[in-house]
Amino acid sequence: MTLPWVEVVEADVPTGEEWLSAWERSRIALHITGPRRKSFRLGRWAAKVLARRELGLDKTAWADIDVRNDPEGSPMLYLAGIRQSACLSISHRGEYAVAALDRHGRRCGIDIELREPRSIAFVLDYLTEAEVRRWNETPVERQSDYANLVWSAKECVLKVLGEGLRRDTREVDVLLSQDGRWEAGAFQAEDRKQGRSFDGTWIMRRDRMITIANPIGPTGSASNSR
């Protein structure tokens, strides 16, 4: 994968709230309860670990690495109250969270999905006709993996576009390039509405998969989180 990224698990996240910024603590206190609190903490920890590692912030206190959200929910990195140009993308599922970073401020997209069964209804609702044909050509025991990978790649591309799942996922067509392997691979994607092309990479682990869409050009300075 070409972009810097990191994966954390729930057990990695420090207890307490001392590592959270004032904005993050306020956000939790006022707006986030239940399972969403765990996801918020997971995603923030992943983003802080990555920013500290990639931006030379090893001497910066965790609470001074501030990951906020814009009005549309996109993550933004702040240091000492000043928004930074680096662009973040965050995703979380279950006990896992991942984050990716583009230091040049280009939108990037990362997604994590569990290797869960996918029904034919899911495939028909979210995949394009071409993707459905390729799904049909996939060995039965790998069809759910295929559907999850295509879905994950679509999420990443829509994050790069800054639109998230507000768009119809069937407007993005994904072609996986596996070379017969399911441990890792690449993909190409086309936004048929805007006529733009994307590429990215993915890896598959025991119970989950991680997908990253590469930035394209100066597309802005914020990306969507889940």
Residues 92-145 have pLDDT tens digits of: 999 999 999 999 989 899 999 999 999 999 999 999 999 999 999 999 999 999
Provide CATH code, domain 5-106.
Answer: 3.90.470.20
| 110-213: CATH superfamily | 4'-phosphopantetheinyl transferase domain (3.90.470.20)
pLDDT recorded at residue 226: 41
Reading the block at residue 165, the tokens are 């799942």
Q: Report the DSSP pairing between strands 96-102 and 5-9.
A: antiparallel
Which pLDDT does position 222 carry in this prediction?
A: 39
Helix (H, G, I), strand (E, B), or coil: what is residue 42? helix
Predicted local confidence at residue 218, as pLDDT: 52
pTM of the model: 0.91
Other Cβ atoms closer than 10 A to 156: 32
Residue ranges of the chain that CATH labels 3.90.470.20: 5-106, 110-213
Burial class (CB in 10 A: 0-12, 13-18, 19+), 199: middle
* pLDDT tens profile 154-205: 999 999 988 877 789 999 999 998 777 899 999 999 998 888 999 999 999 9
> What is the rounded CA–CA span in Å between residue 161 and residue 168?
13
For the chain, first and last CA: distance in Å?
20
